[in-house]
Copies of this chain bind each other. A is one copy, B any other.
Amino acid sequence: MSLRARFETIRDATLRLAAPLSADDCQAQSHPDASPVKWHLAHTTWFFETFVLGRRGGLNGALFNSYYASLGEPLPRASRALLTRPSLDDVLRYRREIDREVCRTPDVDAALVELGLQHEQQHQELILTDLKHLLWMNPARPAYVKRAAEARDVDASPAAWMEFPGGLVEIGADGSGFAFDHERPRHRRFLEPFALASRPVTCGEYLEFMRDGGYTRPELWLSDGWDAVRREGWTSPLYWEDGRLFTLAGPRPLDPLEPVCHVSAYEADAYARWAGARLPGEDEWEVAAERARLPRGTFLESGRLHPAPGPAARLLGDVWEWTRSAYGPYPGYRAPDGELGEYNGKFMSGRLVLRGGSCATPESHVSATYRNYFPPDTRWQFTGIRLAK
């Protein structure tokens, strides 16, 4: 696909995600780490305006800059829902104008356009996760879509352990194809032999942990995790309510064969300890992904909008998988010069790496080397558990 066609396809996919939503839906923000859909629509456009068209400052910068301090003081995150002006219609107009300009500009920097598109895809996922949280906060528990796509390949077989020998390995992106700065450089590591489960932990398995007193036994938890359990009153994953699950298609019964999701890294860690296992390192995960070449699970394009109960063995897709690796620089990492140096590098503290992409991730966006990162108490993303030992 030409870059131009790719540009139009990806930008349009964002609009299609927003299409079922009213201006009301696009305005609201249900917690400080989430953003209104309207803001996502504008911010991704501002990204092209700023980095591809090279226009800086002005009101768009004051409103739609996310966190680039070198571009001026951004609006506080929690204030994004206060931007009733520009209206949704104005923002859609803004998208069309910038799209037209990008397409008309003779020698755009293709690498920056590609970065903008990868960025756009990240926000496609965030539109869904932020919206899901917003709808959940409404006592009526309304749905984003009437009906989600049915699951295929349902499989009730237990997880198997995939064994790997360890030794000197390489991880990280090599030169070919797009990769974010923090996936580079490819470098060597030494690993002990390890094993990875052949699929993510399911709701049914997680229920056993809960029934065994998982949320009431401090010995299973990291200290910070136990503090979070008590401070937040966690007794189940997010979006569980009276044996039912809230999804983007509204509430419905739990399916015990589906991967458990919306768990924090603390819950993932406690589950793993309870199960006599542990979370993988990101290097182990990546080595396994490159060598085992398992089938993929569910992505955004499936229209399911929720992790699926199959196939029996799979790696990418369905849920982001918490690793026990703190998010940090690879040996020899250098943040890019200039403003885009703030894209990833400055977040290299207090976050854990997640791998694999989820049912809300565009399939083309993730790979075996892709690194996502969130603080360990994050639950509103489609985050799940892959066991290691």
- How far does the Cβ of A89 sit from chain B's closest Cβ, in whole Å? 8
How many copies the complex holds: the figure is 4
Complex Cα distance, B347 from A128, in Å, reads 33
Interface residues of A in 333-373 (CB under 8 A from B): 341-342, 346-350
A23 and B27 within 8 A (CB)? yes
* Contacts known (A168-B168, A189-B190); A82 close to B138, Cβ less than 8 A: yes
Which residue from chain B places its CB closest to the CB of A324 in the assembled complex? Answer: B328
Complex Cα distance, B346 from A224, in Å, reads 8
A→B interface (CB under 8 Å): 22-28, 30, 38, 59, 62-63, 67, 69-70, 75, 79, 81-85, 87-89, 134-135, 137-140, 142, 168, 187-192, 218-219, 221-226, 265-266, 269, 324, 326, 328-329, 331-332, 341-342, 346-350, 376
- How far does the Cβ of A145 sit from chain B's closest Cβ, in whole Å? 14
Q: Which residues of B contact A188 (CB under 8 A)?
A: 190
B187 and A219 within 8 A (CB)? no
Which residue from chain B places its CB closest to the CB of A348 in the assembled complex? Answer: B222
A38 and B24 within 8 A (CB)? yes
Q: Which residues of B contact A191 (CB under 8 A)?
A: 331
- How far does the Cβ of A239 sit from chain B's closest Cβ, in whole Å? 15
Sorted from nearest, which 8 A-B pairs have the closest CB atoms? A326-B326, A69-B218, A23-B23, A27-B27, A24-B84, A190-B190, A25-B84, A223-B346
B63 and A139 within 8 A (CB)? yes
Contact sample, A vs B, 27 pairs, CB 8 Å cutoff: A22-B84, A22-B87, A22-B89, A23-B24, A23-B88, A24-B26, A24-B84, A24-B85, A24-B88, A28-B82, A30-B82, A62-B140, A67-B223, A69-B218, A69-B219, A70-B218, A82-B137, A84-B138, A85-B135, A168-B168, A188-B190, A189-B189, A192-B331, A192-B332, A221-B346, A324-B328, A326-B328
